[in-house]
């Protein structure tokens, strides 16, 4: 049986990249796969978080999953820290992961920046916890945005290393599912950087909770160039910001960049941006409204997380017992 696992960190405002690169694709997968969708709060604390914000963001990400169309009856939705087996398996896997593999991870280098020596061990070990999240459920497929590809390859390597070390075929090697037309949505202010929750400028991203005015303003201010839209995507070469807006339009309209270029060829970006705003408002508006309703009912959201944690916890406990037996750890 194919099993999907994926997650989002409750580190701030969910944005269009999280939606198009991850959450929207999950909605389709729930029809054909057993799906586990996590709010990875233990990953969030690899960077300092305000406790009240962390609680609020955890509920907001849960609300966003449901508002986007993930059905908590069909899928398991829970927050990572409610199932302590994630941390236990992370330790076990850390013991079979060579340091050299972690030293290659580009996200650590980007996030630690110039102050590597002061970065936390958790930030460095983040990919091992991610491997534990996936392998704890013996997941076979992991839908993520392009930025998580390297971490997922490491999860496969860690699964293989464990299987080899203990002479078993216990963990499936999880396969990435990098889906959709917008696997890497870039910042609205700088086409060289991905759209990110932690970008200091709110103008760099469209948040899933932005209202129509905010969406229109941010798209109007989005950086572009002085040339009109080209006839084909080849004309977007070397025009990162223009290519990003065309890609966003294509993804929201569920079409390709070719179609978008064909439709707007020769038009100026000022005109295209109006169309893009209308489309973004039409797609994101109903989701934002639903997120607002769900956020106002924390009891309902917390109930979904509790039930999800019970279901995830039952599977996690059984797998961890099997893993302990493979390793030779005595258990009660």
Where on the chain is the footprint of ligand AQP (CB under 6 A)? 8-9, 11, 17-18, 21-22, 144-145, 147-148, 183-185, 194-198
Q: Cβ 108 to ligand AQP, closest distance in Å?
A: 12
Q: Cβ 96 to ligand AQP, closest distance in Å?
A: 24
Out of 114, 197, 218, 267, the active site residue is 197
- Straight-line distance from the first to the last Cα atom of the chain, in angstroms, rounded to the nearest whole number: 30
Q: Cβ 3 to ligand AQP, closest distance in Å?
A: 17
Collapsing DSSP to helix, strand or coil, 97 comes out as coil
Q: Which of residues 72 and 247 has its CB atom nearest to ligand AQP in the complex?
A: 247
Q: Which of residues 137 and 162 has its CB atom nearest to ligand AQP in the complex?
A: 137
- The DSSP annotation for 35-62 comes to EEEEE-HHHHTTS---HHHHHHHHHHHH
Q: Cβ 199 to ligand AQP, closest distance in Å?
A: 7
Task: Report the residue number whose CB is nearest to ligand AQP.
Answer: 21
Out of 74, 194, 218, 290, the active site residue is 194
Other residues' Cβ atoms within 10 Å of the Cβ of residue 328: 7
Report the alpha-carbon distance of residue 196 to residue 173 in Å, rounded: 28
Q: Which of residues 144 and 320 has its CB atom nearest to ligand AQP in the complex?
A: 144
Whether 194 is catalytic is yes
| Tokens coding 263 | 């439709």
- The DSSP annotation for 301-329 comes to HHHHHHHHHHHHHHHHHHHHHHHHHHHT-
Q: Cβ 36 to ligand AQP, closest distance in Å?
A: 14
Residue 54's closest CA among 197, 185, 195?
197
Other residues' Cβ atoms within 10 Å of the Cβ of residue 162: 23
Q: Which of residues 196 and 224 has its CB atom nearest to ligand AQP in the complex?
A: 196
**Residues whose CB is less than 8 angstroms from the CB of residue 55 and which lie 6 or more positions away in sequence, other chains included:** none
Give the distance from CA 163 to its chain's centroid: 27
Q: Which of residues 148 and 277 has its CB atom nearest to ligand AQP in the complex?
A: 148
Q: Which of residues 6 and 224 has its CB atom nearest to ligand AQP in the complex?
A: 6
Out of 109, 111, 221, 273, the active site residue is 111
Report the alpha-carbon distance of residue 29 to residue 105 in Å, rounded: 28
**Residues whose CB is less than 8 angstroms from the CB of residue 98 and which lie 6 or more positions away in sequence, other chains included:** none
- According to DSSP, the residues that pair with 268 across neighbouring strands are none
Q: Cβ 111 to ligand AQP, closest distance in Å?
A: 7
Report the alpha-carbon distance of residue 239 to residue 274 in Å, rounded: 20
Catalytic residues: 111, 194, 197
């Amino acid at each position: 049986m194919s099993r999907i696992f994926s997650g989002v960190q409750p580190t701030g405002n969910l944005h269009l990249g999280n939606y198009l690169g991850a959450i929207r694709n999950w909605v389709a997968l729930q029809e054909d796969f057993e799906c586990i969708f996590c709010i990875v709060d233990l990953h969030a604390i690899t960077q300092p978080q305000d406790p009240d914000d962390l609680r609020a963001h955890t509920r907001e990400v849960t609300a966003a999953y449901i508002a986007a169309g993930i059905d908590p009856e069909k899928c398991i939705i829970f927050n990572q820290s409610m199932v302590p087996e994630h941390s236990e398996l992370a330790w076990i896997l850390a013991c079979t992961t060579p340091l050299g593999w972690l030293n290659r991870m580009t996200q650590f280098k980007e996030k630690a920046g110039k102050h590597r020596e002061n970065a936390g061990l958790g930030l460095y070990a983040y990919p091992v916890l991610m491997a534990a999240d996936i392998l704890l459920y013996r997941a076979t497929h992991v839908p993520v945005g392009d930025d998580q590809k390297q971490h997922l390859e490491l999860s496969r390597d860690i699964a293989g290393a464990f299987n080899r070390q203990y002479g078993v075929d216990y963990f499936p090697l999880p396969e990435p599912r990098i889906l959709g037309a917008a696997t890497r949505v870039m910042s609205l202010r700088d086409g060289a950087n991905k759209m990110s929750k932690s970008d200091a400028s709110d103008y760099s991203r469209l948040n899933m909770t932005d209202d129509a005015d905010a969406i229109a303003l941010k798209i109007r201010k989005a950086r572009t160039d002085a040339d009109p839209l080209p006839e084909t995507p080849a004309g977007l070469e070397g025009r990162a910001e223009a290519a990003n807006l065309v890609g966003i339009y294509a993804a929201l309209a569920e079409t390709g960049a070719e179609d978008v270029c064909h439709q707007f060829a020769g038009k100026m970006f000022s005109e295209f941006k109006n169309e893009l705003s209308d489309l973004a408002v039409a797609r994101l508006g109903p989701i934002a409204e639903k997120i607002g309703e769900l956020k106002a009912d924390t009891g309902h959201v917390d109930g979904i997380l509790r039930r999800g944690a019970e279901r995830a916890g039952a599977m996690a406990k059984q797998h961890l017992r099997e893993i302990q037996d493979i390793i030779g750890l005595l258990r009660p």
